[in-house]
Structure 1
Amino acid sequence: MTELFVNGEGMRGGGVHHNIAGHPFLGLVRTAPAYRFFSVREEFPGIAPGGTAAVVGELYDVPLAVLAEKFLPDEPPELELGVIRLDDGRAVLSMVLRPDEVASGRHADISAAGDWRAHRRA
């Protein structure tokens, strides 16, 4: 099994959560304070290294086959699979904003929110 951090539509109640819903929920977690956090077209979030934000998300134990066959095909092209650090030091898989998308300047920086749901409520 593989630990997968989700912070947008993969979270409970999100549009692609059904792809991982049958797998163990390991709890609410936060990244290390080392990221930037973006809103992509106000449709989904993107996390990127190189900042000081800690981002809230959910952690799941998902088989690699499910990740490859169900989860990844539903992810938007602006995101790619990467490795992030949680605030407890663990390295886990997560979808991250592609470096060319970060450099494009097209996406709103919502690092101050640090939480997709809080951003959407604001």
Structure 2
Amino acid sequence: MAELFCNGGAMRGGNLHHNVSAHTFLGTVRTAPNYRFFSVRDEFPALLLTETGGASIEGELYDVPIGDIRTDFLPEEPEELELTVIELSDGRSVLAVGLRPGLLESKAGELTEITDHGGWRRYRGLPEPDNTTVS
């Protein structure tokens, strides 16, 4: 099993939640304050590790077999994202998807920085799901 950080459509209530909903929901977590956060064409979010100007970004953590990440989760992820390892606020390292290297410059016109919102739900104005609901 692998801990997978979700911060966009795979979160509860999202259009891609079906990719993780059969797996154990471990709770709402935050990244370490080392990430910039972008909206790509206002369709999905993207994390980017940074040395300056970062913040702690909210997401959800799921316990997912690595094979299911390969077969069920990654095929529906946009081409601008890639599997990576991120740091959570408690110091743990977990899997997540992040913006592919080089795209900050080459896709600048398609990216809106939303770091100050601290999460996709806040940026999109979406309600918080019931935290007692476990997938």
1:1-40 counterparts in 2 under 5 A?
A: 1-40=1-40
1:109 is the counterpart of 2:113: yes
Which 5+ residue runs of structure 1 have no aligned equivalent? none
Inter-partner Cα distance in structure 2 for 1:9 and 1:29:
16
Q: Which amino acid aligns with 1:4?
A: L
Post-superposition, which runs of at least 4 consecutive aligned residues in structure 1 deviate over 2 A?
Answer: none
1:59 deviation in Å? 0.1
1:56 is the counterpart of 2:61: no
With the length of structure 2 as denominator, give the TM-score of the two structures: 0.87
1:15 deviation in Å? 1.2
Deviations 1:49-107 (A, max 9, x none): 00421100000000011100010000000000000000000000000011122222230
For 1:119, the equivalent position in structure 2 comes to: 123
Q: Which amino acid aligns with 2:103?
A: E
Pick aligned residue for 1:89 from 84, 88, 91: 91
Q: Which amino acid aligns with 1:5?
A: F
Inter-partner Cα distance in structure 2 for 1:40 and 1:108:
7
Q: Which amino acid aligns with 2:14?
A: G
> Across the two proteins, how many residue pairs are aligned to each other?
122
Which 5+ residue runs of structure 2 have no aligned equivalent? 127-135
Indicate the percent of aligned positions where both proteins have the same amino acid.
Answer: 55
Inter-partner Cα distance in structure 1 for 2:38 and 2:54:
13
Inter-partner Cα distance in structure 1 for 2:105 and 2:36:
12
Q: Which structure has the greater CA radius of gyration?
A: 2
Q: Judge which range, 93-102 or 40-49, deviates more.
A: 93-102
With the length of structure 1 as denominator, give the TM-score of the two structures: 0.96
Q: Judge which range, 76-85 or 44-53, deviates more.
A: 44-53
